[in-house]
Amino acid sequence: MVKRISILLVSLIMALSVAACSSNSGANNSDKGSTNTVSDEKASSGEKVKLTIWLWPGMGIEDQIKEYAAKNNLEVDIQLSPFADVHNNLQTSLAAGSGAPDISAVEVKVIEKFKSSPEQFYNLLDLGAGDLETDYIDWKWKQALTADGSALLGIPTDIGPMAMAYRTDVFEKAGLPTDPNEVAQLINTWDAFIEAGKKVRANAGVGMIDNAASLLNIMVGQGDEKYFKPDGTLILKDNPQVKKAWDYVSKALEANITANIDAWTTEWGTGMTNGDFAVELAPAWMMGFMKSNAPDASGKWNITMMPEGSGNWGGSFLTVPKQSKHSKEAYELIKWLLSPEQQLETFKKNGNFPSTPSLFISDEIQSFTDPYFSNAPVGKLYAQAAELVKPVWEGPDSQTVEDTLNKAITSVEDKQASSEDAWKSAIADIERQMSRK
């Protein structure tokens, strides 16, 4: 009874805190602190260059931007909006011809779309970015480069190499090993993952993973190709990896190993705290989200390598829209902020994994541990995962295809459609959407 009431209270508080947080960010609040720190010296200097910067919460670079601004006599206006809003607002202001910021963060899936309109952004190669190329991972750098290689839209922030976070208490209850090495050895294939999931369901009574869609995306991402060829042809039906992933996830659903909790919901955070699912397949930036969504679960999670290699999920770029009047200052800020030294700072603070390989072998990364994840050597682990990432071609409509597949697999998970019907209708939907593009 007491437990039930406390669960109720937790869910209420979660709901309230999310409400507070979203109304806050939804209002497109400019970061008041940023202008304050700089305005102290305003009186002494003359004309200050003011840079407007659009980010979403969780990027973890605000403090460094303020630090740079204070040192370089800049005024910065950091505006945080929800992830989707940043991209929608940027697209709208680019189309309108005014209102775009001096610097905007753009995620990898969205930069694929913007690559068809490179004239909307400063070509960073013209500003001298060519010299930086060797600092960054090759495939990540190319993601922001137009097909002919003539224009660079953004400098890479973090990358999202994947690892497997798991609940030690749930694994113990399920009769599975809890030591990271043993776990990685036992669950080294997706078949083994499903087998372990059955044990978790039988002995601990909870799901192995949060939901079917996350499993599907990650397995699709482990192939050599995804949904499109670089020339734009849809290869969804001909790519064996997609069908293989679909069939595996369908098998996992038959074995009832998902908790059926949608990501980014209040129940997801509660489930993460209470251990309603044993595993979260986590890109490096997810660590920060887990800590803020489930702070009470600190020490109950551990982290190890994922079955069948790694993969990349997300990661972003900082771009300079053409509307900016201070492209030079903006570029200098980006260059400093995304240099290996500063990316190391961001990683230590927020867990976002650097896109600069020179850091991977550095002592600071290799020896970095995280108490939230039972002091796992997360730096070393993600560095190892990053080496395993195979670059995959996304294409401008990758997000549309992924959304449709996710919805389809969720309808199977919700027992509203059979795996076969859902697959067929998803293919038909995607082909219809592509035909009218």
Residue 381 or residue 408: which is nearer to other proteins going by CB? Answer: 408
As a whole number of angstroms, the distance between CA 195 and CA 189 comes to: 10
Q: What is the CA radius of gyration of the chain?
A: 22
Residue 436 interacting with other proteins (CB under 8 A): yes
Q: Which stretch binds other proteins (CB under 8 A): 55-63, 66-74, 89-97, 374-382?
A: 89-97
Please report how close the Cβ of residue 385 comes to other proteins at its closest, in angstroms: 29
Residue at 432: amino acid letter: R
Largest CA distance in the chain: 70
Residue 201 interacting with other proteins (CB under 8 A): no
Size of the site for other proteins (CB under 8 A): 51
Residue 88 interacting with other proteins (CB under 8 A): yes
Residue at 40: amino acid letter: D
As a whole number of angstroms, the distance between CA 51 and CA 325 comes to: 9
As a whole number of angstroms, the distance between CA 87 and CA 318 comes to: 12
As a whole number of angstroms, the distance between CA 147 and CA 231 comes to: 10
Residue 398 interacting with other proteins (CB under 8 A): no
Identify whether the C-beta of residue 331 lies closer than 8 Å to the C-beta of residue 153: no
Residue 23 or residue 36: which is nearer to other proteins going by CB? Answer: 23
Residue 273 or residue 356: which is nearer to other proteins going by CB? Answer: 273
Residue 202 interacting with other proteins (CB under 8 A): no
192 membership: H or E segment, kind and range = helix 190-199
**Sign of the C-alpha dihedral computed for residues 98, 101, 102 and 103 taken in this order:** negative
DSSP string, 53-85: EEE-TT---HHHHHHHHHHTTEEEEEEE--HHH
CB-neighbour burial class of residue 37 (10 A; exposed 0-12, middle 13-18, buried 19+): middle
Please report how close the Cβ of residue 8 comes to other proteins at its closest, in angstroms: 6
Give the one residue of 2, 3, 4, 148 binding other proteins; rule: CB under 8 A.
4
Residue 352 or residue 404: which is nearer to other proteins going by CB? Answer: 404
Please report how close the Cβ of residue 269 comes to other proteins at its closest, in angstroms: 10
Q: Which stretch binds other proteins (CB under 8 A): 185-193, 195-203, 324-332, 428-436?
A: 428-436
Residues 138-197 that bind other proteins (CB under 8 A): none
Residues 259-278 that bind other proteins (CB under 8 A): 260-262, 265-267, 270-271, 276
Please report how close the Cβ of residue 44 comes to other proteins at its closest, in angstroms: 42
As a whole number of angstroms, the distance between CA 155 and CA 145 comes to: 10
Nearest to 163 by CA among 385, 341, 404, 14: 385
Please report how close the Cβ of residue 416 comes to other proteins at its closest, in angstroms: 6
As a whole number of angstroms, the distance between CA 175 and CA 58 comes to: 35
Show the binding pattern over residues 399-418: x = contacts other proteins (CB under 8 A), - = does not.
Answer: xx--x---xx-xx-xxxxx-
Please report how close the Cβ of residue 24 comes to other proteins at its closest, in angstroms: 11
As a whole number of angstroms, the distance between CA 83 and CA 85 comes to: 6
- Contact positions toward other proteins, by CB under 8 A? 4, 7-8, 10-12, 14-15, 18-19, 22-23, 26, 84, 88, 91-92, 94-95, 113-114, 116-117, 120, 260-262, 265-267, 270-271, 276, 397, 399-400, 403, 407-408, 410-411, 413-417, 429, 432-433, 436-437
